[in-house]
Amino acid sequence: MEKNLILAINPGSTSTKIGIFRERNLLVQETLRHTVEELNPYPLIIDQYEFRYQAVKTCLLQNQFDLQQFAAIVGRGGMMKPIAGGTYLVNDAMKQDLRIGYAGQHASNLGGLLADAFAVEAGVSAYIVDPVVVDEMQPIARYTGIPVLTRRSVFHALNQKAVAYRAAKSLGKSYTDSNFIVAHLGGGISVAAHACGRVIDTNNALDGDGPFSPERAGSLPVEGVIRLAYSGKYTEAQLRKYFVGHGGLIAYLGTNDGREIMARINNGDLFAKEVFEAMAYQISKAIGAAAAVLDGKVDAVLLTGGLAYSKLLTDYIQNKVRFIAPVKIYPGEDELLALAEGVLRVLQGRDEVKIYV
């Protein structure tokens, strides 16, 4: 049986997405949704492993795919040690760090573990591609002004790097010979400076650093944060949830649903329009800062993520930043394709596989 397919597995908090590809061509895509009741028996993310494994296996059987058809299995990378970007072989060191949640607990920690299990059965290698802990920041970008605090690189590396590869190809260049500013616009927002294949500066989108977003408060005035922290009105957990989860558009407008906000704007809600434009304004400022990081040598500004479908948002940003470089829009975040593309670059000899240590 010819091994010419790639299985991509992307575990999220309440779903597991799988994609089956022949090179870049998507043959099957399934979203396996997991209810709160189904997940309740598992107090830790790692405890969900067997449940999710069986869900993926059942889906493969229902779609009549034999594991012997797969040339490689790839999973979403999780919260491991900081690593350079690229496609990594799943090895024992990686599996150990995914099991313990080296940098935190997240459903994506299951990606490499599930990929490894199916790869063993298929007799092929398992991989992960560009996890959120990709860290290629230059030393000067890590300073904060307080020696005990260091800026961290936690961003939408998988989607950012995938669209940067695509943009470079569209320009007739390689990613390693290109300079891009990439803004991922989703529930969290990350804006990164890509210099010749490395992300040399970015905001920590997980903690809510940078522009405010649909769910995150963004960078905040320090004095105000101190006052809130010692006001007696909030526990640490409540304040953390306020800043990351209930900040940004939710805090101002009571929702993170872009469709609802656009409907309010179209119905004449001037406050909703101002808040939405304020978010676009902060994104534009961050793109301008990234241009300075790249010394103004920018091949293109790339807008991606779910909010990149909003013409109001992308038009506002384009009007602010098009003086820097041409703006290209890649709406959505096709993570399954990004995973498959990362593996293809290795299988086709365009990239070298990396080893996690």
| Both structure tokens of 220 | 């905040």
Q: Tell me the C-alpha distance between 127 and 86, whole Å.
A: 10
- The angle at the Cα of 117, spanning 114 to 123, to the nearest 5 degrees, equals 135
**Residue 10 DSSP one-character state:** E
Strand order in the sheet with 87-89: 25-33, 15-22, 5-11, 70-76, 126-129, 87-89, 354-355
Q: What does pTM read for this prediction?
A: 0.93
Q: What pLDDT is stored for residue 163 in this prediction?
A: 98
Own/partner contacts of 62-66, CB < 8 Å, gap of 24 or more, are: 63/20, 63/28, 63/30, 65/5, 65/7, 65/20, 65/28, 66/1
Q: What is the pLDDT along the chain (357 residues), one digit of tens a residue?
A: 678 999 999 999 899 999 999 999 999 999 999 998 999 999 999 999 999 999 999 999 999 999 999 999 999 999 999 999 999 999 999 999 999 999 988 999 999 999 999 999 999 999 999 998 999 999 999 999 999 999 999 999 999 999 999 999 999 999 999 999 999 999 999 999 999 999 999 999 888 799 999 999 999 999 999 999 999 999 999 999 999 999 999 999 999 998 899 999 999 999 999 999 999 999 999 999 999 999 999 999 999 999 999 999 999 999 999 999 999 999 998 999 999 999 999 999 999 999 999
Q: Domains plus CATH for the chain?
A: 5-131+336-355 (3.30.420.40), 157-332 (3.30.420.40)
Spatial neighbors of 154 by CB under 8 A, at least 6 apart, are 132, 133, 204, 205, 206, 207
Q: Smallest Cα–Cα separation from 109: which of 119, 118, 98, 117?
A: 98
Q: How far apart are CA 76 and CA 59, in angstroms?
A: 18
pLDDT, residue 206, reads 82
User: CA 213 → CA 115, 162, 265, distances in Å?
Assistant: 32, 22, 17
Say if residues 144 and 151 touch (Cβ distance below 8 Å).
Answer: yes
Cα–Cα distances in angstroms (integers) from residue 197 to residues 5, 151, 190, 327, in the given order: 27, 20, 17, 19
| pLDDT computed for residue 131 by the predictor | 94
Structure tokens at 125: 């290698």
